[in-house]
Amino acid sequence: MSAKITIDGREVEVADGQTVLDAARKLSIDIPTLCFLEKCGPMTSCLVCIVKMKFNGRTSVVPSCGMKAVSGMVVESETDEVRDMRKTALELLLSDHVGDCFAPCHRICPLRLDIPEMLRMVKESRLPDAMKLVRDTMPLASVTGRLCNKPCEQGCRRGTWDDSMSIRDIECIAADTAFASDYIPACVAPSGKRVAIVGGGPTGLAAAWQLTRDGHTCTVIDRSAAAGGSMRKKPPEAALPRRIVDAEVDLLIKMGVTFRLKSELGRDATVGALASEFDAVLIAIGESAKTQAPSLGLTALATGLKVSPTGQTSMENVFAAGAAVRPAAQVTRAIAEGTAAARCVDQFLRGQPIRRSEKSFSSIMGKVEREEVEIFIHSTAAEPPSSSPCGSCGFVNEVDASAEASRCLHCDCRAEGNCSLQHYSEMLGADPGRFRQQRRRFEQHDHPGNVLYEPGKCILCGICVEIAKQSAEPLGLTFIGRGFDVRVGAPMNREFDAGLQKVAAECVEGCPTGAISFRSGKTVSPLPNHQH
């Protein structure tokens, strides 16, 4: 026996007993699911997997995860109407979602460094791990470790309690560790595409780093004898020792970037020539671009080179970024411009539609009351900073850094990047503020066994309740209460983790959001529900 149904105009046959969701997956249609986990069976609680169905002369909206496929069903999945309903479901969940996707420091960082995760590593004396995290996230990390204007520290929640974390100093110590090791950030498989980057300043080097990581072969062309641009000219030696710039350039060379030094655009090569020699060209020659524009055959505006919103000049494969387009006082900003432009170039090279990376989805709690900060303070070192910064890098040794890192509130979400709610909200463009009302108070139950339970992030899918039941946990979990105030917890007012003596790890794994997580950090497993 089998069932033949139609989804979005395509016929598909599934075995008897399989669901509409199974059928859709067979057609590689990515129907979002939050509460569905194979081993638990359909919970039909999140209603994000809804589809519109015509069957037996009736039209209805049903959760695809629980609806058994029956021959003759005509299903709509990828239509505006259905997408809008799914988006509404997500927005309703988000309206009662008490938690930030990102800690403020992480959200604010122009280079999107996962600062709380880095601090956890430093705190646990896992400096090499912290170094890898930093080096995998951002280019020129030892430069930013010294010159960054530290927006992260201004946003730090610890600062509302006593003093902000010394984030930059810790990042610096982690980043510098790379030079003593032979660590090279991993790159994806070579694309066979070649990119010329004109200008070896922060923007150009950042772009080269990013494009190399993306698998392209990069050549940096700079008129000086040594790459580094403004980094070599502006800051005093004490603020940024030149050996650090050298080391960063060395690291790029190790990654496979080639440098064509003492070569000036216009004199040694024309834009046109580069554009035909390479698959793409990125002009990052700084503020001088504005005056040079006519000789380069480019158009300039008052601020700099004229580019499209995607960073392209009048020539399709010639991009421009950084101070060449718009003056940037800040080195971190310049680096961020470089990586952003590199992403556009990458999309161009891969023949994808070019989208300048927009602000990514993020659930934001908004103002956090002092009582709520207290919840975080609970599990941190309560003392103010133990040492004061010295020299160009704040800490003399990693012991100091570890002590400082232990002050972090870890107000981030451990599931960030591994959260189905975040993933599908991003995908469907959900607006977390659509139904925003007075939010509930933030809650965090920090259990000795490393289990962190944050009820405000629970979407009441029931997966953990079911997992606990299936594995015959002695106490187990249950839904408590009814209606809008339903919560998941251990019975008889016992602590949450009392209900999960055997299967905590499985529940952390199964949780579609960050309601159950491990205090020690983010899980590394891929999204259980996702197909990428």
Partner 1 sequence: MSAWASVLAEADKRAARDAEIFGPVDEIVARIGREADCVIPILQAIQEHFRWLPEPALWRVCETTKITPAQIWGIATFYDQFRHKPVGKHIVHVCHGTACHVTGADRVEEALRRQLGIPAGGDTDPEGEYTIESVACLGCCTLAPVLKFDATTYGHLDAQRLPAVVADFEDVASQNPTHSCDHDHEHNHEHGNVIKVGLGSCCVAKGSDRLFTALKAAAKETGLDVQVKRVGCVGMCHRTPMIEVAREGKESKFFDALQPTEARQLVLEHFRPSNPLRRAIGFGTKLLDRFLTDDAQDSISRHVLNVRDPAVDAFLGKQIHIATELFGEVDPLDLDEYLAHDGFKALRRCLGQSVFVAEAKTGIVSENGAAVPRTPAHTPGARGKRSPVLEKPETGAATKVTGEKDNVGKLSPLPEGEGKGEGKRGVITGIASPSTATLPLNPLKPDEIIDMVTKAGVRGRGGAGFPTGPKWKIVAAQKNETKYVICNGDEGDPGAFMDRMLLESFPYRIIEGLAIAAIAVGAHEGFFYIRREYPLAVERITAAIAQLEKRGFLGEKLLGTNYSLKFSVKEGAGAFVCGEETALIKSIQGERGMPRLRPPFPAESGLWGKPTLINNVETLALLPWVLRHGAEKFAAIGTATSKGTKVFALAGKIVRGGLIEVPMGTTIREIVHEIGGGVGKGRRFKAVQIGGPSGGCIPARLAETPVDYESLREVGAIMGSGGLIVLDDGDCMVDIARYFLQFTQEQSCGKCTFCRVGTRRMLDLLNLICTGKARRENLEELERLAPSVSMGSLCGLGKTAPNPVVTTLKYFRDEYEAHLQGRCPSGKCQALIKYSITDHCTGCTICAQHCPVNAIPVTPYARHVIDQTLCTKCDTCLRVCPHQAVEVK
The C-alpha angle 236, 145, 103, rounded to 5 degrees, equals 145
Minimum CB–partner distance for residue 58 and partner 1 (Å): 12
Which residue in 143, 133, 175, 122 sits closest to 401, CA to CA? Answer: 122
Residue reference for tokens 């999107």: 112
Burial class (CB in 10 A: 0-12, 13-18, 19+), 54: middle
Complex with partner 1: residue 4 or 126, whichever CB lies closer: 4
Strand partners, 487: 480
Complex with partner 1: residue 271 or 515, whichever CB lies closer: 515
Complex with partner 1: residue 93 or 122, whichever CB lies closer: 93
DSSP state of 10: E
146 residue type, one letter:
R
Complex with partner 1: residue 238 or 492, whichever CB lies closer: 492
Minimum CB–partner distance for residue 460 and partner 1 (Å): 7
**Alpha carbon distance 388, 395 (integer Å):** 8
Which residue in 75, 74, 76, 68 sits closest to 2, CA to CA? Answer: 68
Copy the structure tokens of residue 127.
């400096």
Complex with partner 1: residue 68 or 232, whichever CB lies closer: 68
Minimum CB–partner distance for residue 70 and partner 1 (Å): 8
Complex with partner 1: residue 42 or 311, whichever CB lies closer: 42
CB contact at 8 A, 301 and 320:
no
CB contact at 8 A, 142 and 122:
no
Enumerate residues 6+ apart whose C-beta is below 8 A from 374.
none
Complex with partner 1: residue 44 or 406, whichever CB lies closer: 44
Summarize as ranges the residues that interact with partner 1 (CB under 8 A): 42, 44-48, 50, 60-63, 66-68, 85, 88-89, 92-93, 95-96, 434-435, 437, 459-460, 465, 468-469, 475-486, 490-493, 499
DSSP assignment of 102-135: S-HHHHH-TT---HHHHHHHHHTT-HHHHHHHHH
Minimum CB–partner distance for residue 380 and partner 1 (Å): 33
Minimum CB–partner distance for residue 18 and partner 1 (Å): 14
The per-residue b/e assignment along 231-245, b for 16 or more CB within 10 angstroms, e otherwise, is: bbeebeeeebbeebb
Minimum CB–partner distance for residue 365 and partner 1 (Å): 17
Minimum CB–partner distance for residue 4 and partner 1 (Å): 18
Minimum CB–partner distance for residue 300 and partner 1 (Å): 43
Complex with partner 1: residue 17 or 190, whichever CB lies closer: 17
Beta strands in 41-98 (DSSP E): 50-55, 58-63, 74-76
